Chains A and B, each alone.
Chain A
Amino acid sequence: GESVGLHLPTLSVQEGDNSIINCAYSNSASDYFIWYKQESGKGPQFIIDIRSNMDKRQGQRVTVLLNKTVKHLSLQIAATQPGDSAVYFCAERKTDSWGKLQFGAGTQVVVTP
């Protein structure tokens, strides 16, 4: 079926190292992809997004890569900090939707000192 999912449920990374979080999607009709960060007890916080006409987009310490050939999305966090510990969700939006976001299952990132 059509779904957005994550490869790794938990990622443990040492402070200062780079983190890579992966996401697979199956709906080729999606035109917009977003990464959200969710800390315990809080709402999803927007990190970065990318449209389907792009392969890469960079923000502050974060980079999103989109590979439409294999329907793969990744989030790279440079120099991971303790404040980066959270659950990270990828989400997709289909071209013909009124903004409905379909979320993946989430990856727990744990930053160790």
Chain B
Amino acid sequence: EPEVTQTPSHQVTQMGQEVILRCVPISNHLYFYWYRQILGQKVEFLVSFYNNEISEKSEIFDDQFSVERPDGSNFTLKIRSTKLEDSAMYFCASSRDSGETQYFGPGTRLLVL
């Protein structure tokens, strides 16, 4: 069964450093998403991406965040200058269409020190 994969599973970084989180969505899916979950809290939407453009983003997704689909398989989330409060689990998801089921990856646990 196809699944969304994410790398790395864990990332530790110093405050102010740049991080890139990687995702490989399900191959025939066209819509891609990033969500985050701060420890013990609910899952929060960050951004949706379709046809090489951001289609929707939340207030959390400020100028420090960017997304990219550098090739036909990867989907990345970049945080330019990490802050302590960026520490969270980051989930990538994909769907065939914006109205279809979103399938989530296993997540990357980011710890900013």
Nearest neighbor of B105 in chain A, beta-carbon distance: A43
Determine if A101 and B42 form an interchain contact, defined as CB atoms under 8 angstroms apart: no
Question: Chain A nearest CB: distance from B31 CB in Å?
Answer: 5
1/0 per residue B33-68: CB within 8 Å of A? 101000001111100101000011010000000000
**A-binding segment of B14-22, B76-84, B96-104:** B96-104
- The listed residue (B4, B56, B106) touching A99 by CB distance below 8 A is B56
- The listed residue (A34, A42, A44, A97) touching B56 by CB distance below 8 A is A97
Residues of the A chain whose Cβ atoms lie less than 8 Å from the Cβ of B107: 42-43
Give the interface residue-count category, chain A: 20 to 34
Looking at chain A's contact residues, the main secondary structure is strand
Determine if A100 and B42 form an interchain contact, defined as CB atoms under 8 angstroms apart: no
Docked Cα-Cα span, A46 to B107, in Å, equals 15
Q: A10 contacts the other chain (Cβ, under 8 Å)?
A: no
- The listed residue (B44, B48, B101) touching A103 by CB distance below 8 A is B44
Given contacts A43-B91, A44-B91, contact A100 B43 (CB under 8 A): no
Determine if B43 and A98 form an interchain contact, defined as CB atoms under 8 angstroms apart: no
Q: B95 contacts the other chain (Cβ, under 8 Å)?
A: yes
Determine if A44 and B43 form an interchain contact, defined as CB atoms under 8 angstroms apart: yes
Determine if A100 and B106 form an interchain contact, defined as CB atoms under 8 angstroms apart: no
Residues of the B chain whose Cβ atoms lie less than 8 Å from the Cβ of A43: 4, 91, 104-107
Residues of the A chain whose Cβ atoms lie less than 8 Å from the Cβ of B99: 32, 93, 99
Determine if A98 and B104 form an interchain contact, defined as CB atoms under 8 angstroms apart: no
